[in-house]
């Protein structure tokens, strides 16, 4: 059990008291004292490891099941003894342009906060350090922790959206570059890969709108009334994120449409060039085919100048066709 507990601390009046040896006893102490709560952080616990926490904290079985088996959408569930908030932290590596998502479950109840993290993305270390450096905020109890976690996750969304916009501008420049033909296959794969990343980012941000909006209301238990204005600030930041996600998606669609249109134009250019060369080669092919039939009575067949004149005629017609096609920009 110790291995999955990332951190466990008791907080009195916004200040860290100690790391309890027995979190069950610490929870009882937190519930018996004013302005005191327990905060436990877990990382990918197994069912057996999570069982004791479930019993002592009185967590709902459905919420426990969601915490053990990740792959949840962002949501807010209200149970008799706790709130259950699911967040999806996102991390973007600009070096290799990979977007990774984790899952973060936050339980808030009577004098306790329980966070369960899945994946490598970890915003909780900075959240705990920031809160412990601001006791006035932390003394508001579990609600302050839920706000700080939500705020950190959403603010990082803004950073990821900005990084995606930067890479998208680079991709747009590549699509419209003059030498884009040389890397057309690579460009197509980059566009579709970017669309996959944008979709994954949207799955983390868009469903979170409803839970954050509900936290700004007055009918959510375990949320201090003074915290609603802070959740409205988180909702405002999330709205900006979703606007940027929509902008990224629209721009990606426009880039893809422009790229496909460019491919169509280039294919038409290629077909025109092929047609022009085929027309030019058709003339000598036709003349050679006629004179290759070996009939006894052919025009100019027995003239000394017949062969050079025929060759000259082929060259002349080909040159004329070339000039016509060149003037029409078929070459």
Strands (E), the chain: 5-12, 15-18, 36-43, 75-78, 82-87, 90-93, 98-101, 103-109, 112-118
DSSP state of 92: E
Residue 161, C-beta contacts closer than 8 angstroms, at least 6 positions apart: 201, 241, 244, 245, 248
Report, as an integer, the average pLDDT of 293-314. Answer: 69
What are the helix (H) ranges across the chain?
23-32, 47-57, 61-68, 124-132, 135-138, 142-175, 184-205, 209-215, 228-291, 306-327
Which of 38-42, 187-191, 220-224, 236-240 has maximum average pLDDT?
Answer: 236-240
Q: For the chain, which domains are there?
A: 5-262 (3.30.460.20), 270-327 (1.20.58)
Q: Which of 97 and 248 is assigned the larger pLDDT? A: 248
Euclidean distance between CA atoms 75 and 95, whole angstroms: 31
**Measured between alpha carbons, how far is 46 from 201 in angstroms, rounded to an integer?**
27
Query: Is it the case that residue 134 has pLDDT exceeding 50?
Result: yes
Decide: helix, strand or coil at residue 226: helix
Per-residue pLDDT tens digits for 208-257: 999 999 998 878 888 878 888 899 999 999 999 999 999 988 888 888 88
Please tell me the distance from the alpha carbon of residue 60 to that of residue 74, in angstroms, as a whole number.
18
Please give the pLDDT value at position 218.
74
Q: Are 53 and 169 in contact (CB under 8 A)?
A: no
Q: How far apart are the C-alpha atoms of 280 and 106, rounded to whole Å?
A: 74
Give the closest residue to 84 by CA, choosing from 58, 46, 55. Answer: 58
What is the average per-residue pLDDT within 300-322?
74
Residue 297: predicted pLDDT: 60
For the cut 60, the answer to whether the pLDDT of residue 294 exceeds it is yes
- The dihedral over CA atoms of 7, 12, 14, 20, expressed in degrees to the nearest 10, equals -10
- Comparison of pLDDT for 154 and 181, the residue scoring more: 154
């Amino acid at each position: 059990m110790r291995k999955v507990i990332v951190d466990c601390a008791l907080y009195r009046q916004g200040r860290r008291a100690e790391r309890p040896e027995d979190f069950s006893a610490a929870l009882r102490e937190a519930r018996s004292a004013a302005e005191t709560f327990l905060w436990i952080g877990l990382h990918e616990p197994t069912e057996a490891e999570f069982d004791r926490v479930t019993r002592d904290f009185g967590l709902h079985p459905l919420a426990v099941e969601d915490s053990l088996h990740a792959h949840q959408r962002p949501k807010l569930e209200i149970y008799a003894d706790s709130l259950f908030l699911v967040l999806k932290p996102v991390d973007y590596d600009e070096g290799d342009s990979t977007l990774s998502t984790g899952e973060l479950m936050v339980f808030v109840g009577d004098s306790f906060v329980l966070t369960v993290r899945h994946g490598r993305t970890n915003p909780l270390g900075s959240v705990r350090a920031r809160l412990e450096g601001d006791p006035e905020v932390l003394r508001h109890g579990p609600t302050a922790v839920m706000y700080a976690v939500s705020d950190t996750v959403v603010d990082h969304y803004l950073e990821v959206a900005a990084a995606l916009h930067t890479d998208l501008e680079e991709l747009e420049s590549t699509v419209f570059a003059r030498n884009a033909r040389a890397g057309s296959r690579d460009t197509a794969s980059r566009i579709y890969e970017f669309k996959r990343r944008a979709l994954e980012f949207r799955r983390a941000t868009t469903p979170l709108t409803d839970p954050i909006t509900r936290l700004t209301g007055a009918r959510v238990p375990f949320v201090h009334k003074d915290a609603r204005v802070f959740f409205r600030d988180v909702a405002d930041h999330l709205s900006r994120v979703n606007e940027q996600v929509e902008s990224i998606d629209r721009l990606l669609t426009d880039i893809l449409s422009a790229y496909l249109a460019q491919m169509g134009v280039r294919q038409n250019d290629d077909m025109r060039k092929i047609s022009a060369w085929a027309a030019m080669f058709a003339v000598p092919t036709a003349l050679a085919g006629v004179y290759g039939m070996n009939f006894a009575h052919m025009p100019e067949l027995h003239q000394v100048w017949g062969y050079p004149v025929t060759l000259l005629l082929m060259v002349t017609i080909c040159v004329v066709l070339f000039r016509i096609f060149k003037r029409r920009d078929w070459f």
